[in-house]
Structure 1
Amino acid sequence: MKLKILFFFLIGLLCFEFSFSQNTPIPSGSFNVASDVDDWTILPNTVSKSWFDGGCQSMFVDNLPNTQTAIITSPLFNIGSPGDYELELEYGVIYSTTAAVFELLDDNSTVLSASTNNTITGTCADWPNPKKTTLVFSNLSSGDYQLRITIPKSQFFIDGVSLGITNTLSVTNYKLKEALIISPNPTNGSLLMNLNYSGNYSLFNINGQLLQNGSLNIGENILDISNLPSGLYLIKTTTLEGKTFTNKVLKK
């Protein structure tokens, strides 16, 4: 009888789609205590960062009095398995319409860049729900990484409750992976970008310098990079709904 129950249980598992996720938390990314803020570095050192504990627990960076950007960098963390990862975070840029830039730095100092904007008013205690932003980084290798955030002239809150990198092996994310197909990769000069969404693209070198940008249509799009030297490049595409994908491209 027990064998029959086990048999039908296993058959039932095969008949259902299921998924699981591997969460790679960023150290000191919860901001539940003031010491978490101390573990993040900030440049220039004339910009203040502090722990905010008023209805929510966050890191607060006051870059409003300055004319230059501020940069905060997380402690080192490790990704054990290669794959497509989603960076989930909750943050707000106040008194600015300029996007904050979120970058992953790998152990080879390669910059995987993605920018987004979530301009709000008030402190994180007043944020409407949901206040999450999701950035997708495709084909990440295993290794050590850091999260770097470039903050415009503004006041900046980051509520780290959901700050982490999630690798979700699900039917939904396989569809997201198929949403953008780039070929050939490596390429000698032209890239065929086949999308099932409309949006925009930005092309960066490994130092994070913007080289090209433009709009994308559903279907086939051709991107000419024949004038660029051989090397590794990053293509960031953003859907009209704000979903961001970052892919590596190798120019021969």
Structure 2
Amino acid sequence: MKRSIFLTICSLFISLFSFGQTSTEQFETESHGSPSFTDNGVIFNVISHVGTFDIQANYPGTGWNGTSVDNRYIDNSNDAASPPSFSIKTTSNLFKVNRFWMYLSALNLDLSVSGTLTITGKLSGITKFTQTKTTGFTTSLGSTNGYTLIDMTNLNGQNYSNIIIDELRITLGGNFRYAGLDAFTWVKDTGIVLATNEAAASQKGMRIYPNPTSGPFSITTENNVQAKIYSQDGKLLKNLEMKKGANQTDISELPNGVYILKTSSGSSKIIKK
């Protein structure tokens, strides 16, 4: 029997429901100075935009796992570059952010200074949300060891915990010059269901056929574009370079299943499953 691999197409504005796995990275098994960490089988890169951010393990008892002090977290140490900014990003999986804890202070760790925290979620470089928190920061060590809970289910009155991204960017403002991030709680997607109307033919000048396919298929497009094929759990499986017109490709090496083909065209995104 021929294998059947099915792809469908939907619009940019989609609602994604996931049968996800919630995980909390406490960084306790990560290496000091590392610019990446691994949690629930997913590798995240810590990308420094302004200042140098990596895993901090030199000061035991200065982290916060959500219920008690711990020893490791992400921070920018004594880097004076301003305004501090970094991202947590993965290129092989999609994820959602539930909550995390942050120590926000002056370089001398003074929590009483005033500042802002801008949180941005991106997917393939496109901003999916951005919010700036200006109040509600912890101003003393108190019961949370100086950390402020950043709850993505209620950030400035909005719920961003259900938005699928591949990059979470953190930017400090005002007098905040030091940032420590701990207890990063996120959701790994194990399935994606499209909630908008699906079409099997074409959209925005692109068409794939046959669909379903036993492996080989064609893609026609109006422009030169790059495409990526993902599994339903968000793992990158294949990169495609497509030129204007008809393109032939093959995914016979993949097992039976449903796959997602993504392309970017300007500021829009076409997702085919």
Which TM-score tier does this pair reach, normalised by the shorter chain?
0.3 to 0.5
TM-score (ref. length: structure 1): 0.38
Structure (1/2) with the larger helix percentage = 1
Greater relative contact order (CA < 8 Å, ≥ 6 in sequence): 2
TM-score (ref. length: structure 2): 0.36
